[in-house]
Amino acid sequence: MRRRDFIRLAAAVQIPSPARLVAVGDVHGDLDRFVDVLSMAGLVDDAAAWSGGAATLVQLGDVVDRGSKSREVIDFLTVLRKQAARAGGAVHCLIGNHEAMRMYGDFRYVAAAEFQSLATSKSDRERDRLFERDLAKLAGSSSLGDRSDLSLGYRTKWEKEHPLGQAELARAFSPKGAYGKWILTQRATLRLGGTLFVHAGISPKYAEWSETRLNSRAIEELQTGERLDDESLCKDTQGPLWWRGFSTDSESELAPHVEALLAKHQVQRIIVGHTPTANGVVSRLGGKLILADVGLSTAFTARRACVVIENGGAHALDRGRKLQLK
């Protein structure tokens, strides 16, 4: 797919709200817990196949890292999206900071088992090539120092930081890799009817940016792979993949900012993930802001909870119980 096609896919589209919509927060490589939540919400059957009819699923980003089944979650979502479309439903996924991290080469949160699952008989050679590439980058740099440092354990330390399978994972999540291409077809923000979805939040720094601009910039940056700096939207702590203000700032501080965002994007609420909550789905500002990262992965609390929007109203579904959001 050509660059302009990716940018076109990232453009803002206000899709009418379906009669029933389910929003699920961060999955973090835990396919089993994700399926549990979707089953509770009536979106999949006992075989983990779509059973939600014309309903819509919105996954809020961070399907990868921490758990060991990141690729399996993406494979599952790919199949589920096709099944939902055939039934008149839909599956939408947002880009989270962990998807972006994989694309720009930050593998700090990749589970060891995930590297191991990608290792093959050729992985030693793959790692040797990666080492030589990194060494070439360091050549002449003060961080390398005297080349004799290599005899003092440099290679041993480097190998601990670059396990077998890492080169294969980097390739799979590169812009040309199977999973990188999947990420590039998702959005940073999405409007469905009266709701705006974003992984982390829209800070005052980006308050004037349109959805088209946010989505296009995110895709454009991720296509560059590793060539990003800390001011890039996908790395910026004030950016839509990282900002935690919606969960950490006081309601009195947030109120005017959120009201301005609702008016700009012509919605009645914003739903985000990214920051795990302590006690399930959290409603702020009278339901205008909903925090939906409940820590469903076993890397956190494995809580079964999600947000359900029906006939314009939102409630939480928490371990099978319907809870009104105020």
Q: What is the tens place of the pLDDT at every residue in 178-189?
A: 999 999 999 999
Q: What is the pTM of this model?
A: 0.91
Pairwise CA distance, residues 210 & 294, whole Å? 28
pLDDT digits (tens, 9 = 90+) for 257-309: 999 999 999 999 999 999 999 999 999 999 999 999 999 999 999 999 999 99
- Single out the residue of 281, 311, 304 nearest to residue 37, CA to CA: 304
Domain ranges of the chain: 3-107+170-324, 120-164
Architecture (CATH level 2) of domain 3-107+170-324: 4-Layer Sandwich (3.60)
Write down the pLDDT at residue 230.
Answer: 87
Cite the beta strand spans of 236-284 per DSSP E. Answer: 269-272, 282-284
Backbone angles phi, psi at 99, to 5 degrees: -65, -45
Read off the DSSP letter of residue 187: B
- 112 burial (CB, 10 Å; 0-12 / 13-18 / 19+) is exposed
Write down the pLDDT at residue 132.
Answer: 86
For residue 183, what is the enclosing H or E element?
A: helix 178-183
> Does residue 52 contact residue 88 with C-beta atoms inside 8 Å?
no
- Within 13 Å and on the Cβ side, how many CA atoms surround 122? 5
